[in-house]
Chains A and B, each alone.
Chain A
């Protein structure tokens, strides 16, 4: 039973560039959430996708956008990268139809470094 998988593992970009991160949810899960974890801090919620729509969004600028595909996999796109975007980006999946407050299962993350 495959868990949540994310790619790539590491990524190095320069300021102003654009980046796309990918996530495949755990088998049987249909909801994908994205979190940003800065060094030494707890993860911060970016947004959540369910039924290919953005269901909820955290306090992140429009430079952060996403997409969910019919197979439930998801992408996180960040435009006009800033030094402050350097972080570990975590994807989490859950079963959306069962309602809120469900445990979320996390991938190992993508470490994004901005030079």
Chain B
């Protein structure tokens, strides 16, 4: 079956630091890959996506590249802000449902 493993948190950073959250997956076929973000008290928001190998998803300064050879989809941002503090979820879909990782809590300090 499908599974997603992502870096355990919590992660605490200073403003303008570099952020990376590792994500690896197990799936049959050719899944689409996603990063979702959850701010306190809210639902999930789609951050970025990639639908095939070597695709790079990007949004709001975040990037992730679909690496089929290493079954990975690591999230990166070059310079984080306090407003990036949230829980980040890696997810995949190769049918009609999403399978999520456990989430990584990121706290950015001014």
Which residues on A are within 8 Å of B, measured CB to CB?
A: 4, 31, 33, 35, 40-45, 48, 50, 55-56, 58, 90, 92, 96, 100-109
Contacts and interface: CB of A to CB of B under 8 A. Distances in A.
A43 B98 contact: yes
Q: Size band of the B side of the interface?
A: 20 to 34
Given A45-B97, A100-B94, A101-B31, A108 B46 contact: no
Given A103-B49, A105-B46, A107-B43, A41 B102 contact: yes
B3 to A, nearest CB: 11
Contacts, number: 64
A48 B93 CA distance: 13
Given A41-B103, A42-B103, A101 B93 contact: yes
B94 A106 contact: no
B95 A56 contact: yes
Interface in B14-68: 31-32, 34, 36, 41-46, 49, 51
Nearest to B100: A42
